[in-house]
Structure 1
Amino acid sequence: MTIHAVGEPARRTAEPYDFRRPTTLAREHSRVLEAAFDSFARQWGTQLTAKVRTKSTATTESVIVQTYDEYVASLPTVTCMVRCVVGDTAAKMVVQFPTPVALGWVARMLGGASDKPGLERKLTPIEHALVKALVEEALDVLAYSLGPLLPAEARVESIQYNSQFTQAAAPSDLMVVVTCGVQVGETTSAVTFAVPADTLLPQLGAVNPVASSENAPELTREQVALVPVEVAVRLASLAVTPAQVLDLAVGDTLPLPHHAREAFHVTVGGQDHARAMVVRSGSRAAARIVSVLPSATHPQGVDDAPAEPDAPAPTQEYRP
């Protein structure tokens, strides 16, 4: 049975968190990145207007952290993936946009004026050179807008056309994924920038520190102390065979290896922690601790043998 303290507050739900994959940004860090990419979007829209010779705008729609595998899964299979090298980082930055949109940009750069969507095909050598130059200029604007957040220069390495086969990073590598809405003439499309998190996140603390690490152990202990755990008071367990379990019927008796006058076992997370006697607290059952196991108070000197309980304190008899 499970014993809860009398008058305990409402149960708090604890969500699992993997510290090896901090998939959420601190609010302050998120604001810094959003402000930087908003500045980039405004300047990039002006640059596109000059390059494609028609009014163009770009706006930042979202800034999130995803693994590279999650990012690729969100993209269409056939699309334009521009891999970019960022300093000595093994993971590559990715600039992604639909291939027909890129062909429309190229057509306008060469004097065309049609907003009709193009075909889904690979770029010709001339189109490849024009798109590469367009992306390289966008990377210059990105470096200017991010400033110290992007410590290394980014340059175009290659252009791929299948998101599933483009190996820019390991599947579990974290990426800061920025989605921009780009409107060129009457055509609106989504362009994504996936920057390795290892490139941006280390600089965020220096740009806008959110907390001091001097008292990190103390803060960790305080937070762990608030995590709810299950405490159970139970009899000694009995090992049985599957056949015995399947043959159980109403009225059967299982003899437990628990003496009638022995204290109950108090477990936390399935581990023995103390011994207790079951008593009555008003109209509810309660457990009075009579001893604490040495392994619970001295984890470094764990003794596998269960400790004998101390003499139980005077208790009230519990009758269900």
Structure 2
Amino acid sequence: MAEVLSQDEIDALLSAISTGEVNLEEAKSIEEEKKVKVYDFKRPDKLSKDQLRTIQMIHETFARLNTTMLSAQLRSAIQIQVISVDQITYEEFIRSIPEFTILGIFDVGSLEGNAILEMNPNIVYTIIDRLFGGPGEMIDLSRELTDIELTVIERVILKLLNNLKESWSNIIEVSPRIEQIESNPQFVQVVGPNEMVVLVTFEVKIGSVEGMMNICLPYPMIDPIVSKLSAQYWFSSVRKEMTKENLGALKSRLNKVNVPLIANLGKAIVSLNDLLKLKQGDVLKLNQSANKNLDISVGNKLKFKATPGTVGKKMAITIKEVLEEGSD
């Protein structure tokens, strides 16, 4: 946003230009220099800031779902949060991760190409240790996973990826499926080295152990849905019309909710002395006529007008009027 000058500042600037204190041509050249922005054609920005924010919101949901899932499965305090969403080349991604790491190559079914879920070995071995009954403390191992460990961690990764279904559901339906598990990044080539990717980085805490987890989404894979990656589309999808099944389930749950129903019979003012002397059979005169409709509240909101009466030996009311929203 341009800075707005006061009248005194404008007068001072004009005075400086007229006296030669400020060189107008020099000021123009400085302004032109400020407009020049360095652009690297080897790293073109494919997505806007708004689209990157949408991807971040999607994966914040993914992080929350997996925090709950891993906490229940490992019976330990888990915290997963998104710390960055960046556009980089695939080569930069491969160089940024350790030489020995755990890479789950997967496809999402509805989009062409493969994506990568990368997990730091510290996190992987801690998860395995917890699942095998250990304390889940820091383990510094740089060895290949055994067949049993590979099977265990593959199931964990699949459970993590399954939560992409819900987090991406407002944009596109996905069905993640693991293609392979690798430990050497040099053996994984899902796109060309100079192809742009979206890198979503998570910080994972399992007890006292911390590590990083990354999801690498190649741009060619998400290109068909780029137009949907906007906050407006995402929020409008969240408010999409409910299906009959969802509406029926919601009504069924609401029917089981207990709410207080209060019939206001009237009020009476008595002294504390009279209140203490009350006994069975005493009558209090209320300020409400027996022939006048009573106020019936649901919770703390006035909802009905009714007349009092009895059904057998029990007190009852007959609804005479339903008050609509905004009625007096």
| TM class by smaller structure | 0.5 to 0.7
> Which structure: greater helix fraction?
2
Q: Cα offset for 1:100?
A: 3.6
Distance 2:218 2:84 in 1: 16
Counterpart in 2 of 1:143?
165
Are the counterparts in 1 of residues 56 and 85 from structure 2 also a CA contact under 8 Å? Answer: yes
Q: Does 1:14 align with 2:18?
A: no
Counterpart in 1 of 2:192?
170
Aligned length: 207
Counterpart in 1 of 2:106?
84
Q: Cα offset for 1:20?
A: 8.2
**Correspondence 1:81-160 to 2 at 5 A:** 81-87=103-109, 91-160=113-182
Counterpart in 2 of 1:69?
91
RMSD over aligned Cα, in angstroms? 2.7
Counterpart in 1 of 2:286?
none
Distance 2:110 2:167 in 1: 21
**Correspondence 1:207-226 to 2 at 5 A:** 207-208=229-230
**What is the aligned counterpart of 1:26 among 48, 57, 72?**
48
Q: Does 1:180 align with 2:180?
A: no
- Greater shift, 35-44 or 86-95, is seen at 86-95
Counterpart in 2 of 1:249?
none
Amino acid corresponding to residue 80 of structure 1 in structure 2? I
Are the counterparts in 1 of residues 122 and 211 from structure 2 also a CA contact under 8 Å? Answer: no
Instruction: Please report the TM-score for the alignment, with normalisation by the length of structure 2.
Output: 0.57
Deviations 1:91-114 (A, max 9, x none): 421111122421220110121114
Counterpart in 1 of 2:64?
42
Are the counterparts in 1 of residues 112 and 221 from structure 2 also a CA contact under 8 Å? Answer: no
Distance 1:182 1:149 in 2: 25
Amino acid corresponding to residue 41 of structure 1 in structure 2? A
Distance 1:48 1:157 in 2: 22
Q: Cα offset for 1:201?
A: 4.5
Distance 1:55 1:209 in 2: 31
Are the counterparts in 1 of residues 106 and 115 from structure 2 also a CA contact under 8 Å? Answer: yes
Structure 1 moving runs of 4+ over 6 Å: none
Distance 1:150 1:131 in 2: 27
Distance 1:6 1:43 in 2: 57
Distance 2:72 2:78 in 1: 9
Q: What SS is found at the alignment partner of 2:32?
A: coil
Distance 1:209 1:56 in 2: 28
Amino acid corresponding to residue 181 of structure 2 in structure 1? I
Instruction: Please report the TM-score for the alignment, with normalisation by the length of structure 1.
Output: 0.58
Amino acid corresponding to residue 121 of structure 1 in structure 2? R
State the identity %: 25
